[in-house]
Each structure stands twice: as structure tokens, then as C-alpha cells.
Amino acid sequence: MNRRDFMASSAAALAALRMPDPDSIIRRVRAKEGGPVQVGRGEVAAVRQMSKSLGDAAAELGGGHARELAVRYLHDTVSAWLDGSWTEGTGRELFAATAQLVHLTGWMAQDEGNEAVAQQYYAHSFRLASEAGDPELAATALRGLAVQAIDLGFRATAVRIAEACVEQAGDIGDQRARAYYEATLANAAALDGDRTTATASLTASQKFIERAAGAPGDSWASHYSIGRWAHEAGMILAQLGDYESAQEHLHLALEVHGLDRRRTRAIVLADLGTVRLRQENVDGAFAAWDDFLDCADGIRSIKISTALDDMQARLYRLRNVSGAVELSERATGLLR
């Protein structure tokens, strides 16, 4: 998807992402008879377990390793259950569980660099979540669209969708989820140069994540740990030019909370190297990038590929500094 296509399709997505009318919600999830398969809580549990297993693999090794499995499971198994028979309670749970898996598949597509496919999955996840009556799942789908706009540099679109994400969440009880959405708005606002909104949303996000400390949670957004928050907060602060605080937050993410997913840890280390370089700490940047290359080996993710390209571009300017050429050669080997 190029920038023009995303701008047109994101505008269409904003127009389309409205809550379905109450009648359509009732038609979709109410008790249903006559389907080829009787769906119960076991099938719903299976969808959720598959989402967890595939999500764990993607978080460790990148979306490129698991997306085909997720797509096959959706098409070959879950689609038959959506066409089955169920009670109204089971129907709502089935649509919510499917919204999770569809969202995960969209994230995997985005992590492969396929923005167009990811956008379609996020929009579909939003509709499923809306029909299930689950505002948190709907907000998380909107967050996926907002992150796309952030990554592609569409500042106004990113802010608009991030605002819709926060509005959609309303007053849900999960503090981690609310921290997740407020941080997304802070990120979009920082990209847009709106320091006031970025600072206010980051402060709100910190308040929510601190309230959630020690409470693991079992919602779809409960994976948003304080370590992940510290990484995102650090990069928002870097966008705002506060590199000292940014480095402190990245240290918090890595050393205090010890992010244990290889993909996530690799991305944080790459970011830490860039922040240190902006502080003219070349030795510190090289040390972080050396650790990044150790973590990145074997991960299939556009985030990793982009970080490798970014690192090499910076290393070229430092090619006369001891160790720069060796790091660049290692990065070239991983890109191959």
C-alpha cells in the first residue's frame, strides 16, 4: 500500500467504522438454529487458545512466521463455526473471540509489511467486536488502524483514529487497556507536533498503567505491560526531544521490567541505540546495536528490517569510527 492509497482507504475506513445499528447486532449474535455445526463454549475456548498460541509465536519470532497458520485456521475452521448454531450468549462470545483472532491476523500482516491486508483485517475485527458488544476489542481494532497511520506518517488521520480509539473505550474497567489507548493518542499527537495533547495523554497513560501494576488481567489488551508502556513512552519522549528521559524509559523497559519477547526486546534495543546516538554517545549506541543484532537473528518482521536499514544508514556516516563497519556487515547478513 502506498501513501496515496492509504490516505484514501483510511478516510473510507473512518467513514465505515461506525457502530452497527442495534437490529443488526441482534440479528448476528442472537440464538441461531439450523446451522451445520452446533457451537458451544468448547469451540469458543479453542479460538481463544489458538489466538494465544499464535500470538505468542508471533511476539517471539515476528508476524511472518505465523500469519499463514492464522489465516488457514480462520478460513478452514472458524468460518464454519460462524455459520453454525448457537445460543445468544455463545454467539456473543464466538464473535468476540473471532474479533481477537482477526485482529491478531491483521497485526501479523502489518508486521510483514502488508498494510493493505492488515487494514482490512482491522476493519473486520472492529465490526465483529461491535456486534459482540465489546468496546475494548473495538477500541483495540481502531488502535491498529491508528498505528498504521502513525507508521506511514499520516499525522491528522493518526490523531483522528487515535481519538476515536480512546472515545470507543469509554469508561472500561481494564486500566492496562486504557493506558494502551492513551499512549497511542500521545504517540499520534507527538508525531503531529501537538506537545500539549501528547503530554496530557502520556500522563493519563502513565496513571492508568501504574494503577494496573501487579494486576495481570485477562482482557485482550492485558498484554500491555509496564515494560511495553515504558518503551512506547520513551519513544514518545524522544519525539518530543527529551532524549534523557527517553533513555531512562528504555532502560526501565529493558533492565527493570526485562521484556522477554525476542522481537520486542530487539526493537527496544534498536531504538535505544538511536536515542544514545542523538545524545552523542557513540559507544553506547554501538553497544545497544550489537545486542540488537544478537536478538534480531531469525525474526521475520518489517519492524526489524526497518530498524536494520535505519541502523545501517546511521552507521555509514560513522564508517570511520572503530566498530561501525563490523556492525554494518552483521546487519547486512541478517537482511540477506
For residues 1 and 119, the model is more confident at 119
Q: Give the residue-averaged pLDDT of 232-247.
A: 97
Instruction: Inform me whether the pLDDT recorded for 321 exceeds 80.
Output: yes
Q: How confident is the model at residue 11 (pLDDT cuts 50, 70, 90)?
A: low
Instruction: Inform me whether the pLDDT recorded for 118 exceeds 60.
Output: yes
Using a pLDDT cut of 70, give the percent of the chain over it: 88
Q: What Cα–Cα distance (Å) separates residue 21 from each residue in 15, 92, 131?
A: 15, 16, 9
Q: Give the residue-averaged pLDDT of 124-146.
A: 92
Name the amino acid, one letter, at 74: L
DSSP 148-168: HHHHHT-HHHHHHHHHHHHHH
Q: Give the residue-averaged pLDDT of 155-162.
A: 94
Question: If you average pLDDT over each of 142-151, 196-205, 296-305, which comes out highest?
Answer: 196-205
Pair 253, 228: CB distance under 8 Å: yes
186 CB-near residues (< 8 Å, 6+ apart)? 197, 198, 199, 200, 201, 202, 205, 233, 236
Q: What Cα–Cα distance (Å) separates residue 50 from each residue in 44, 46, 113, 261, 286?
A: 10, 6, 23, 18, 39
Grid cell locating 197: 495533547
Instruction: Inform me whether the pLDDT recorded for 298 exceeds 80.
Output: yes
Number of H helices and E strands in the chain, helices first, is 17, 0
Give the pLDDT score at 96: 94
Count other C-beta atoms under 10 Å from residue 8's C-beta: 10
Give the pLDDT score at 83: 87
Helix, strand, or coil (residue 85)? strand
Instruction: Inform me whether the pLDDT recorded for 198 exceeds 90.
Output: yes
Q: Which of 62-71, 93-102, 211-220, 314-323 has the lowest mean pLDDT?
A: 211-220
Give the pLDDT score at 27: 47
Name the amino acid, one letter, at 330: R
Instruction: Report the distance separating Cα 107 and Cα 115, nearest Å.
Output: 9
pTM score of the predicted model: 0.88
Instruction: Inform me whether the pLDDT recorded for 32 exceeds 70.
Output: no
Q: Give the residue-averaged pLDDT of 318-336.
A: 93
